Amino acid sequence: MNTYGLGHDVVDVAAFAEQLAEPGSHMRSLFSVRELRQAAERARLKNDGEAVHLAAKWAGKEAFLKAWCEALGERSYPFTLDNFPWREVEVLDDSRGVPHVMLSGVVARAFRELTVDCGGSSRDDVRNPKSDYANDGDIVSNSVSQTDYAGSIPVIHISLSHDGPIASAVVALAD
């Protein structure tokens, strides 16, 4: 197995909750409707705060970006922190509660270009037919074997955790 990139991020849940609640904050706009809905539902079921679940998703987004930047190596980054389309990187749980990274839009297109440089062959159909959330053109994470993509893209592996005041995520891009 080849690993192309590894990213890790931690988020202070209390500070993140303050950012979400701050008047005029745009933090919520960095999440998709599906992410917000899923975090609210999980908070309701677990009887805890929505910020805990959004903080873990945010850590996942940041960890993905770090892994992708490592995989790019010396090549130019397709985005800066100021123009990165955060909503196009979704961290969503499947029906079993397993987290996955979903890429869409310009992020999915830019990520596809990376795959050519990682030794894979580019394909137009890069979606996971097993996912509850996949749309045409989406790239999804770790529930897919390489044979599902005919070796065309690195698989996005993600692990999320939160304990007390800290949320954490690790992302690996591998084949």
Domain boundaries, the chain: 3-174
What per-residue confidence (pLDDT) applies to 149? 36
Name the pTM for this structure: 0.82
Radius of gyration of the chain (CA): 16
62 is known to lie in a ligand binding site: yes
In sequence order, the 6+-apart residues with CB closer than 8 A to the CB of 41 are none
What per-residue confidence (pLDDT) applies to 140? 58
What per-residue confidence (pLDDT) applies to 137? 53
Per-residue pLDDT of 146-170, as tens digits, reads 333 344 588 999 999 999 999 999 9
What is the rounded CA–CA span in Å between residue 90 and residue 65? 12
The H-or-E segment that residue 41 falls in is helix 33-46
Angle at 7 between CA 135 and CA 14, to 5 degrees: 90
Structure tokens at 90: 């979704």
CATH of domain 3-174: 3.90.470.20
E-strand stretches of 13-152: 89-93, 99-103, 139-140
What per-residue confidence (pLDDT) applies to 87? 97
48 is known to lie in a ligand binding site: no
Only one residue has tokens 């990165």, namely 84
Q: Which residues of the chain have pLDDT under 70?
A: 115-152
Per-residue pLDDT of 114-128, as tens digits, reads 765 555 433 333 333
